[in-house]
Amino acid sequence: MKNQNFPAILLSLCCLVFFCGIYTAAVWAVAQVAPNQGKGKIIFYGGNSQQYGFANIGQAFTVDKYFWSRPSAVNYNAAGSGGSNKGAGNPEYLLQVQARIDTFLLHNPAVKRDQIPTELVTASGSGLDPHLSPGAAHIQVERIAKIRGIPKERLNTLLHKYTHRPWFGVFGIETVNVLELNIALDQMK
Amino acid sequence: MNTEIISVILILLITLALAIPLGKYIARVYAGENTFMDVVFNPIEKLFYKVSRIDSAQQMNWKQHLVALLTINIVWFFLGMLVLMNQGWLPLNPDGNPSMSPDLAFNTTISFITNTNLQHYSGESALSYFGQLTLMFYQFVSAGAGMAVAAVLFSALRERTSDKLGNFYEYFLKSCTRILLPISFIVAVILVFSGTPMTFDGKDAITSLQGDTVQVSRGPAAAMIAIKQVGTNGGGYFGVNSAHPLENPDFITNAVETITIPLISIALVFALGYYLKRKKLAWMIFAVMTVGFLVCLIPTIYLEMNGNPAISRMGIDQAAGSMEGKEVRFGSAASALWAILTTCTSNGSINSMHDSLTPLSGMFTMLGMQINAFYGGKGVGLLNFYIFIIIAVFISGLMVGRTPEFLGKKIEVREMKIAMLVFLLHPFLILAGTAMSSYLIYVHPDYAWLNNPGYHGFSEMLYEYTSASANNGSGFEGLGDNTPWWNISCGIIMLLARFIPIIGPIAIAGILAEKKYIPESAGTLKADTATFGVMVLAVIAILVALSFFTALALGPIAEYFSIA
């Protein structure tokens, strides 16, 4: 049998150059015409170009004047990412969920327990989930209306405006980008 | 009907609609016929053969194929160790991430050359961009190597007597250039325009709207994410894989990434049919795989959409399903679909945290990997299925009292011995590994690698070895697995579980190819019938149930009853 070592090494080097070099360069070149040159879509908070966040990366919102985002195992620091990895029956975890429910009820006295959507008290997979369901934002409207002194109807209209709907009404799921919504909230007069 | 369910059905139908023409194309590539890609790739491949001193017209027998495969994998192993243990000072490291420890580099290298992509690290902090791109190289070539052995199988199953089974390098290179590369490029472009980063800039520091200072990891991610899906690799760019909002920004990218998980694996089944001109056989294999897949999928979607019963008892609104470890933009149904597809096909990428799946869903993901032949990994899924076919042919032969034959070749003692050894290896590696780790953690509770107590803790260890042995790469990620014990034991298991299930089926196919071809007669057991399909399914169900039921009863099933 002929020696296979040289073909193996040389073919590997060819592939290394081709797939790491040329393929990567081709995708990178395409990225130069993509949103923000492939550096991640950004979204400005106001007029100031120094203040921006990433549209797809969720942020921690814990104060009452903003729509809260979901709990996060990495506290929304996108230097890393991670979920809680808690099993469904883990007693320590269930106590944590119970505590989140109690905290939410305390800050939102008008909300009844059976109205709290499960995603508001469970951590996302990435720890950076930028979204809520429209329902999870809706039950926070009363609290925000009171603190900001904005009529509930206007907040509901805002929420309606920022709800992303499924393609053709069938393909996908309804979501609200919390950062987008809170930026719009800050800009309301 | 719920839009989540409609979306799942649409995704599956689109996958099938794409897989059939792709299968036809793959069959043409392996048969050496002209395709529309010739213009681009003929000159490139010629150049590669010339530089590498390869004569692509040289026909190899099955042993030469295996020598070529193993040799090139040894080269890849040393290259990987070299890069990962030195990436700290190598270029393209804007975040200053360190070089890997020897045991982590050992695990990671093996993980990527075996198409497993088990990751005992987080990409954001443990890899430089150079390291990431090197791993991306393995995502192409390990998938290409798997597809090349499937092409050897195709060649061996033809109606003739021969030991000439084509050229390994040609199958390998064509798989990478003509199949994996174009599909990956399309997916990468879709991702880039949806907001996935493709940049060599380092982390960005931002101030959140609320005033917190955080950092955002970036990098040349889109290129790698495309091939990790297309090549059933699964090793993500970011730590949480496709749950990360930069790795998988919205429902549409999720649909694209979901479709690409099983696409080539399904296409290979149809390619087999076109290549051998036995379309009915391909449909039989596809039907058996799909029935098995749906048996895992349907209950998982139901369970995840139904929510965690322990949280339901707290009296909150569980309409969204079990959302711990899931992303709102995908929802429960699409997350469940991904979980089952990624485990059935040996992909191992994730878009939700499998550790937080409800107990029985966790069991179905493990079952997918324990069977490892419902679509299965690139090329190797079909090889695993071939082993089940051989066993089913043998048992059917015994039942009707005839010499077992498959596609005109007699199956005798030697082939059966190989088939049984290959089958038994998988449960042996999984159960022995889990047993040893369970003992270690019992004697040394201070190792503290479990993230959850009780039955679920056992499931974390069972899942890890199942994933390693299935060359899958997903995990119950709560497990603290970056320790020498886990790195080395999983490394060895991945190595054995990659190459023995390639060597075995190729040996069987090679031996059969050299035997005399017996034309079909009235007494031949027909392999392309529904009856035989049921037989194969029964063989899979019985063998896998006998091997794994006890372990599953101790883990997910016990957990289910404890919280139901």
Q: Which residues pair with B205 in a beta bridge?
A: B215
Q: Which domain holds residue A153?
A: 40-186
DSSP element (H, E) containing A43: strand A42-44
Position A1 scores a pLDDT of: 45
CB contact residues (below 8 A), chain B span 51-70, against chain A:
51-54, 64, 67-68
Amino acid letter, B200: F
Q: Which residues pair with B215 in a beta bridge?
A: B205
- For testing contact with chain A, the best of B66, B328, B462 (most A CBs within 10 A): B328
**pLDDT, tens digit (0-9, with 9 covering 90-100), for B317-338:** 999 999 999 999 999 999 999 9
Contacts of B5 (CB under 8 A, 6+ apart): B301, B333
- Tell me the average pLDDT across B135-149: 96
Residue B402, SS3? Answer: coil
From chain B, the residues in CB contact with A87 under 8 A are 355-356, 359, 452, 456, 459, 478, 559
CB contact residues (below 8 A), chain B span 202-261, against chain A:
203-204, 206-210, 212, 214-218, 220, 222-223, 226, 238-240, 243-246, 249, 251-252, 255
Could you tell me if A2 and A51 lie in one domain?
no
**CB pairs < 8 Å spanning A and B:** 361
Query: What is the spatial distance between Cα A169 and Cα A152, in angstroms, rounded to a whole number?
Result: 27
ipTM given for this complex: 0.95
Could you tell me if A29 and A45 lie in one domain?
no
Could you tell me if A55 and A113 lie in one domain?
yes
- Tell me the average pLDDT across B510-537: 90
**Does any CB of chain A come closer than 8 Å to the CB of residue B124?**
yes
Which residue from B159, B32, B67 is spatially nearest to B506, judged by alpha carbons? B67
Could you tell me if A118 and A157 lie in one domain?
yes
Percentage of the residues of chain A whose pLDDT score is greater than 70: 99
Could you tell me if A97 and A172 lie in one domain?
yes
Percentage of the residues of chain A whose pLDDT score is greater than 90: 87
**pLDDT, tens digit (0-9, with 9 covering 90-100), for A85-123:** 999 999 999 999 999 999 999 999 999 999 999 999 999
Quote the minimal CA–CA distance from B318 to chain A in Å.
5
Q: Are A43 and A56 in contact (CB under 8 A)?
A: no
**Does any CB of chain A come closer than 8 Å to the CB of residue B449?**
no
**pLDDT, tens digit (0-9, with 9 covering 90-100), for A12-49:** 999 999 999 999 999 999 999 998 899 989 999 887 77
Lookup result for tokens 């199958």 = B171
From chain B, the residues in CB contact with A130 under 8 A are 245, 329
Facing A23 at nearest CB: one of B223, B321, B459: B223
Could you tell me if A105 and A137 lie in one domain?
yes
DSSP state letter for B317: B
pLDDT band, residue A2 (cuts 50/70/90): low
**pLDDT, tens digit (0-9, with 9 covering 90-100), for B46-96:** 999 999 999 999 999 999 999 999 999 999 999 999 999 999 999 999 989
**pLDDT, tens digit (0-9, with 9 covering 90-100), for B173-220:** 999 999 999 999 999 999 999 999 999 998 999 999 998 999 999 999
Could you tell me if A50 and A135 lie in one domain?
yes
Give how many domains chain A has, as a whole number.
2
Rg value, chain A, Cα: 23
Position A152 scores a pLDDT of: 95
Q: Are B87 and B127 in contact (CB under 8 A)?
A: yes
DSSP element (H, E) containing A177: strand A175-177
Which residue from B84, B147, B138 is spatially nearest to B113, judged by alpha carbons? B138
Could you tell me if A177 and A131 lie in one domain?
yes
Could you tell me if A18 and A80 lie in one domain?
no
A79/B181 CB distance under 8 A: no
Could you tell me if A2 and A63 lie in one domain?
no
Query: What is the spatial distance between Cα B267 and Cα B154, in angstroms, rounded to a whole number?
Result: 13
On average, the pLDDT of chain B sits at 94
Could you tell me if A44 and A84 lie in one domain?
yes
Could you tell me if A62 and A12 lie in one domain?
no
pLDDT band, residue B401 (cuts 50/70/90): confident
Q: What is the largest CA-CA distance in chain A?
A: 84
**pLDDT, tens digit (0-9, with 9 covering 90-100), for B209-245:** 998 999 999 999 999 999 999 999 999 899 999 999 9
